[in-house]
A and B are shown apart, each in its own frame.
Chain A
Amino acid sequence: MSILIDKNTKVVVQGITGRDGGFHAAKMKEYGTKVVAGISPGKGGTDAGGIPVYNTVRESVEKEGADTSIIFVPAPFVKDAVMEAADAGIKLIICITEGVPTLDIIAARHYAFAMGAKIIGPNCPGLISPGKSLIGIMPGNIFMPGKTGVISRSGTLTYEVVYNLTQAGIGQSTAVGIGGDPVAGLYFIDLLQMFQDDPDTDSIVMIGEIGGDAEEKAAAYIKANITKPVYSFIAGRTAPADKRMGHAGAIISSGSGSAGEKLAALTAAGAHVVNEPAEIPALIKKH
């Protein structure tokens, strides 16, 4: 099994006629993901690499049975795109776009929540259940099916960690990039619980970074609720205070959000904290 997505997940791509949307729609299809439709208002009735294009998300739900959406539209239009998907009955909305205004994502998330939809992202690489479905921009070839769940705030750092796992013969059940923005949808705690409940996940890798206190909150949650082993790497030990390190959310402010506090909290919660990503596979094998 896996969490959130599997081989039956039917995906609609919002912004499929854009450069990134088109490119990754093709990549996802090639991986084996059921990409059933694309959205591009005004271009309904056309076709994008064999994928039917509709004007509205509602049509893709009615005609193709789409249940999950991935968003590539430019940042100023993300709020509307998320709300459109939620309104149409989409239950999982993955937002790849970066640079979305914070107040927009706050509004969109509240609306989606009211409609019973979950959001992943924005500013994230998406998620993958290896061998079943890839909904995102991750390089599918570095993943392999297995029993380790991965949760990460970063993109390429996730690939680095996953690559090490795969090389060591450790496969992944599902890997989720939750995104680098200060306000985002599903986060560590939500996903830790999903992996805890998934019978086919037997260990969890959690990749955090500086900024906010989500890792500390996750640590408290792990201590109280998670029985599966958790392995963790936190990026940004050497980051200076008050500087945004690429990701909008990666900033140490007013003395909080530093890597040291996160490492201490996770260690105290019983997670296996590593100094470098390459140490993770050997640790998993040891347990």
Chain B
Amino acid sequence: MKIHEYQGKELFDQWGITTVSGAVCRSVDEALNAYDHLGLSRAVVKAQVLTGGRGKAGGVKIAKNREELALIAASILGMDIKGYIVDRILVAAAVDIAAEYYFSFVVDRNAKSVVMIMSRDGGVEIEEVAAKNPERIHKIPIFPFVGVPDFLARKAASILFDDWNHIVQAKEMIKKLYRLMVDTDASLVEINPLVISKSGELLALDAKINFDDNAMYRRPEIEKLFEPTPEEEKELDAKAKGFSFVQLQGEIGCMVNGAGLAMATMDLIKLYGGTPANFLDIGGSSNPNKVVEAMKLLLSDTDVKVVLINIFGGITRCDDVARGLLTAFNQIKTDIPIVIRLTGTNEKEGRELLLGTPFHTAETMGEAIKKAVELSARNHVIVHQA
């Protein structure tokens, strides 16, 4: 789960990390009011969208005065950044920057730990630094039962800074940032740029925080900040019913048990020349209600021309799955062709139950997918002729 920069900065405030917060504005008028209210002269205007690369897209600009602020606010509001429409901006005092740095805490899969990452090359994308000057990036793994004691924070701070005054400020900030990560179950807390202002103050000029979805049950105050897109709404709705669902733009609706098999099904559809409409993992059960709900979800997508059901019967036997499917399809009427592939425990019995039904059945995954791709191509022709 991601949150906006301004929300991240609110959390920084709560955990005592010095930042320049400013005001969130949804219109030019609000931006002008904020400008007056905060008594600003030079101001920075930043698009608030849940994606990276805002600067490159022109979503971050400096206004020298009130008139310029109005123009810039008007140009950024409504902007499309990687498919996200900017509906709010952050207006804050522009800082006179002496130097920019990079600092983050992140869950590292390989270290199987949280690591802190720092670089004296701040203000640019860290991936760029990693590609061009990997020696300028430093990583320190954190032992979870030790956390970030003084010596470690001091060590990290002195990798970034030479001036003792800066080291002391950074040491405190690093400790607070780790506290924030643990207290909120974040998977990433990143400050880029972390700056030293011309007056010698350490400031977090950006705040990027991602959270661990698995831990949100114990962080209700964080979960409240979640703003799902319409697409994510649909995915959440599916999750509430016990599915994992991701919308894609293709024509073959997929219903599969298991995430890996669901991904492999999508891949094979593409390999055979078709396009998957979605990723849908219905989990492991033969419950007819689940199949009904999943079918409703697939059929709500008008691009879907064929439905492909790929089930591996493991603990759940294929004959039970077939019975579940038959019960479900007694409740759903559709003209869309349905291809069913059942394999695994009691597969013969399962397939026999589906004999004489309008379903297209297949024994292997390849065969089923070939059939679904053919049917979706044929459906195209019919639609065109009509």
| Interface residues of A, Cβ cutoff 8 Å to B | 27, 75-76, 99-104, 106-107, 109-111, 137-139, 141-142, 152-160, 163, 180, 182-184, 207, 209-210, 212-214, 217, 233, 235-240, 243-250, 254-255, 259, 275-278
Contacts and interface: CB of A to CB of B under 8 A. Distances in A.
A233 B345 CA distance: 23
Interface string B154-183: 000000000000000000000000000010
B267 A155 contact: no
A121 to B, nearest CB: 13
Given A76-B217, A110-B143, A182-B107, A210 B312 contact: no
A187 to B, nearest CB: 9
A101 B264 contact: no
A101 B263 contact: no
Contacts, number: 170
B281 interface: yes
B338 interface: no
Given A207-B260, A239-B266, 8 more contacts: A101-B218, A103-B182, A103-B212, A137-B315, A159-B314, A160-B261, A217-B110, A239-B246
Given A217-B110, A277-B264, A277-B365, A110 B144 contact: yes
B260 A247 contact: yes
Interface of B: 52, 107, 109-110, 112-114, 127, 143-145, 182, 185, 187, 212-215, 217-218, 244, 246, 248, 256-264, 266-271, 276, 279, 281, 284, 312-315, 343-345, 364-366
B343 A160 contact: yes
A240 B231 CA distance: 13
The majority secondary structure among interface residues of chain B is mixed
A56 to B, nearest CB: 22
Given A103-B144, A238-B276, A245 B259 contact: yes
Contact of A246 (B267, B276, B279, B345): B279
Given A154-B259, A243-B246, A141 B345 contact: yes
A24 to B, nearest CB: 8
- Considering the complex of A and B, which 3 residue pairs feature the smallest CB-CB distances, nearest first? A154-B260, A246-B259, A156-B258
16 contacts: A101-B215, A103-B107, A159-B261, A160-B365, A180-B260, A183-B109, A183-B112, A209-B263, A214-B110, A236-B266, A238-B263, A245-B262, A246-B259, A246-B281, A248-B214, A250-B259
Nearest to B182: A103
B185 A238 contact: no
A153 B109 CA distance: 14
Contacts of B365: 160, 276-278
A101 B184 CA distance: 11
B215 A103 contact: yes
Given A103-B144, A107-B144, A278-B365, A156 B260 contact: yes
A42 B229 CA distance: 45
Contacts of A214: 109-110
Contacts of A278: 364-366
B144 A245 contact: no
Contacts of B127: 254-255
Nearest to A255: B127
Contacts of B258: 154-157, 159, 246
A106 B144 contact: yes
A106 B52 CA distance: 27
A169 B268 CA distance: 24
A213 B263 contact: no
B217 to A, nearest CB: 7
**B185, B217, B261, B264, most chain A CB atoms within 10 A:** B264
**A103, A157, A180, A246, most chain B CB atoms within 10 A:** A246
B267 A156 contact: no
Contact of B244 (A158, A233, A246): A246
Contact of A238 (B107, B260, B270, B366): B270
A153 B52 contact: no
